[in-house]
Amino acid sequence: MLVKLCLVWILLAVFSSALQIRAIGVNWGTSASHPLPPTKVVELLKSNNISKVRLFDADPLVLRALSGSRIGVTIGIPNLMLKSLNSSKKVAQSWVHDNVTRYFTNGGGIQIEYIAVGDEPFLQSYGQEFQPFVLGAVTNIQVALVEAKLVDQVKVVVPCNSDAYQSESGLPSKGHFRPDLNQTMIQLLTFLSKQHSPFFVNIQPFLSLHQNKNISLDFALFKATAHPLNDSHKTYKNSFDTSFDTLVAALSQVGFPDMDIVIGQIGWPTDGAMNATSAIAQTFMESLVSHFQSKVGTPLRPRKPPMETYIFSLLDEDQRSITNGNFERHWGVFTFDGQAKYHMDLGQGSRIPVNAQEVEYLSARWCVVNNNKDMSNVTAIAQDTCSVADCTALSPGGSCFNISWPGNVSYIFNSYYQQHDQKSDSCDFGGLGLITTVDPSVDNCRFAVELHTSVSASWSRSMLVWTFLTTLSISMSFLGFRH
């Protein structure tokens, strides 16, 4: 009897802890000039017990690194492929064959759970660019999965931005889909519910705050002191619940009140804007995770929190588009090189996550402005360079906003130099650049040294001699400085 009870208890414990941990995944994007090698990223995921990952394409190197890892994978299909996937079953078949079936057969051992067709294809700012192709693409991919006998393992989903639904009064109970999307949504939801697939939605309270959507920082951060929003008999205490229930109401209005919901992206950036800091990000993430773990759900879905949540994002990406704002390159829970930015609860209580191990960097060299030269044109040169270099940390609220001139120019020169694998001619700037081995970082403003990637590796081998010569010349120019 005692043994039986123990067994039940152990099973329950294993089951519930598995549930708790399994519910949290991460988005792994690779829009970086020097991405952390996929094998290092997979080690990072494993050492932090992250058991689900969402990818934005089907990079064979990434998928190979994930094989045998038992990490649940969502593979994304870029928006630009939707048109051809809509018009041709053959294209869909070969996409599935190349990017899914292959990894199930011959011991590939990748646990592919979802195919995300498009990345926010209904985004309002895209207009009709992708919307007309989504349903056709979804259908053709589904048919290809049936033919490949993979429908039991892999579900097709369409990640939507929260701008797909709205409520004029701001009250969740009045939520509805955007009128221009209503019919498409009904068709999509009909498809999803037939396949028992969930609705993927990206909810970003930071964006609502940044776009001045009438919410306070406290409301976004789940603070008990936030002014609540009353919706008849229901009280909303945070921005997440408000947005989530607006979606629930929109789903109900078109006849899908019980649709499962997965949060495809949620997070908080740490640089490049006001209120984008590690401290605030930590508060947000801790509150979010404890909100899910408390299992209270939302006023419209009590005790039924989203079935899965994918944090946005795993790593910072210095090539992400900044049309929405300079914070876009700083969503990572980890910096570009896999170092944790703040404490977080990934199912084992709040603690500092485990960093990426044995990360290989380029040499400890930086490019700075040589202030012994005529600097009358330097600001114009620096501003031009920002169209290529990553200057996002210099914006108001950013980690390098208040470093003094010409430190900001050096920051820009260095970013360009690192992005170009520390090639000597990328620290020229009309003779104004100077290579140094002294780290110019100040306070929170980090002058990064980029990662050693296979591309930069072959280059640096061929430049060994050059390195020796410049080291010599750097030392000499430093001697010159002192005099």
Ligand X SMILES: *[C@@H]1O[C@H](CO)[C@@H](O)[C@H](O)[C@H]1NC(C)=O
Residue with tokens 């959507």: 213
Q: Tell me the C-alpha distance between 170 and 242, whole Å.
A: 9
* 317 carries an active-site annotation: no
Q: Which two tokens stand for residue 35?
A: 């991405």
Residue nearest to ligand X (CB): 170
Q: Which two tokens stand for residue 86?
A: 């809509």
Question: Of the residues 43, 113, 120, 308, which is catalytic?
Answer: 120
Question: What are the CB-based long-range contacts (under 8 Å, 24+) for 293-300?
Answer: 293/20, 293/345, 298/241, 298/244, 298/245, 298/248, 299/172, 299/231, 299/234, 299/235, 299/236, 299/241, 299/245, 300/172, 300/173, 300/234, 300/245, 300/248, 300/249
Q: Tell me the C-alpha distance between 311 and 289, whole Å.
A: 10
Q: Contact at 8 Å (CB) between 173 and 229?
A: no
Residues pairing with 369 in the sheet: 433
Of residues 206 and 470, the one with the C-beta less far from ligand X: 206
Give the strand pairing for 155-157 and 433-436.
unpaired
| Those residues with Cβ within 8 angstroms of residue 359's Cβ, 6 or more apart along the chain or in another chain | 36, 40, 337, 338, 451
Of residues 153 and 190, the one with the C-beta less far from ligand X: 190
Of residues 88 and 467, the one with the C-beta less far from ligand X: 88
Closest CA to 99 of 132, 124, 128, 66: 66
Of residues 405 and 466, the one with the C-beta less far from ligand X: 405
Q: Contact at 8 Å (CB) between 200 and 120?
A: no
* Residues that bind ligand X in the complex, under the rule CB under 6 A: 48-49, 57-58, 86-87, 94-95, 98-99, 132-133, 136, 170, 176-177, 179, 182, 214, 217, 228-230, 235, 253-254, 274-275, 346, 348, 354, 374, 376-377, 379, 382-383, 394, 399, 401-402, 404-405, 408-409, 412, 443-444
Handedness of CA 101, 107, 112, 113 (dihedral sign): positive
Q: Tell me the C-alpha distance between 294 and 18, whole Å.
A: 16
Of residues 78 and 459, the one with the C-beta less far from ligand X: 78
Minimum distance from residue 459 beta carbon to ligand X (Å): 25
Q: How many CA atoms lie within 13 A of 250 on its CB side?
A: 30
Q: Which sequence positions are flagged as catalytic?
A: 120
